[in-house]
């Protein structure tokens, strides 16, 4: 099997990020982690559910893995680096206003993994600083960046076990993208999000076995309540461009 070649995000892959933007509102939005579908930030609500059923054994624990730091200016791709199978925490910082910050994780190993391989990571207006968590199959990767100015990212892989999880209710607030631990979600769990009208806001979950769900993708309503539709352990990622708060109960 031939080694898979890296495709620059300046090519066809970057089109997925902008395809979801409305002609009435070209402001960028965050692509859900692990998703190949672009989302429309001007839609009142878009709800997506994983096709993978919840599993009683989520594949935990995950051991701690690799750490990497990258920085640069403008459009770039990193050298090939290794990740272990498990969690991946992705922190990014773009200090100046320069349009958008788009990044993509590209799987370079010969054999496909059992979790998530290629991932659209960010497509957000700048300046921006944030973080989120996802899961990766492990192997060799490259990171593609598309932004006009300076940027820096840090990747690390913390260990995670089932006893690290928190039960609901959980309340969190902030003013930048972040993730909310590992949460034990019952089948009827709901999330209520409050924010300013017009601010980009996404709430999505990702399970340790790679399933994902996007209950909220909304830029219009100041308060939204949705059923999460994930039963069991899941990480929660919040992508908000202004002040926000979420309650899971």
In a domain? residue 103? yes
In a domain? residue 5? no
What average pLDDT does the structure give for the chain? 80
Please give the distance of CA 40 from its chain centroid, rounded to a whole number: 16
Q: State how far the Cα of 112 lies from the Cα of 114, in Å rounded to an integer.
A: 7
In a domain? residue 22? yes
Query: What pLDDT was estimated at residue 192?
Result: 97
Domain residues for the domain of 166 are 12-248
Query: What pLDDT was estimated at residue 58?
Result: 59
In a domain? residue 163? yes
Please give the distance of CA 111 from its chain centroid, rounded to a whole number: 23
Structure tokens at 104: 């993509």
Query: What pLDDT was estimated at residue 9?
Result: 35
In a domain? residue 152? yes
In a domain? residue 210? yes
In a domain? residue 18? yes
Say how many domains are in the chain: 1
Residues lower than pLDDT 70 in the chain: 1-58
Query: What pLDDT was estimated at residue 3?
Result: 36
Torsional sign, CA 152, 157, 158, 164:
positive
Percent of the chain with pLDDT over 70: 77
In a domain? residue 1? no
Q: State how far the Cα of 1 lies from the Cα of 66, in Å rounded to an integer.
A: 26
* Residue 126's CATH number: 2.60.120.380
């Amino acid at each position: 099997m031939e080694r898979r070649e890296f495709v620059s995000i300046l090519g066809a892959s970057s089109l997925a990020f902008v395809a979801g933007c409305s002609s009435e509102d070209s402001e960028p939005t965050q692509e859900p982690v692990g998703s190949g579908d672009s989302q429309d930030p001007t839609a009142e609500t878009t709800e997506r559910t994983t096709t993978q059923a919840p599993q009683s054994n989520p594949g935990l624990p995950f051991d701690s893995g690799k750490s990497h730091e990258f920085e640069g200016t403008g459009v770039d791709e990193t050298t090939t680096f290794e990740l272990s199978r498990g969690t991946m925490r992705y922190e990014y910082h773009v200090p100046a206003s320069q349009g958008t910050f788009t990044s993509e994780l590209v799987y370079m190993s010969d054999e496909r993994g059992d979790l998530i391989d290629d991932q659209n990571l960010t497509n957000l207006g700048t300046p921006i600083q944030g973080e989120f968590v996802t899961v990766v199959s492990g192997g060799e990767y490259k990171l593609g960046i598309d932004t006009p100015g300076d940027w820096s990212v840090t990747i690390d892989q913390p260990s995670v076990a089932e006893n690290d999880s928190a039960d609901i209710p959980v309340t969190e607030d902030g003013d930048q993208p972040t993730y909310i631990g590992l949460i034990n979600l019952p089948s009827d769990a709901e999330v209520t999000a409050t924010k300013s009208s017009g601010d980009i806001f996404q709430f999505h979950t990702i399970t340790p076995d790679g399933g994902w769900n996007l209950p909220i993708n909304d830029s219009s309503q100041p308060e939204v309540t949705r059923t999460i539709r994930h039963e069991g352990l899941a990480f929660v990622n919040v992508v908000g461009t202004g002040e926000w708060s979420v309650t899971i109960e």
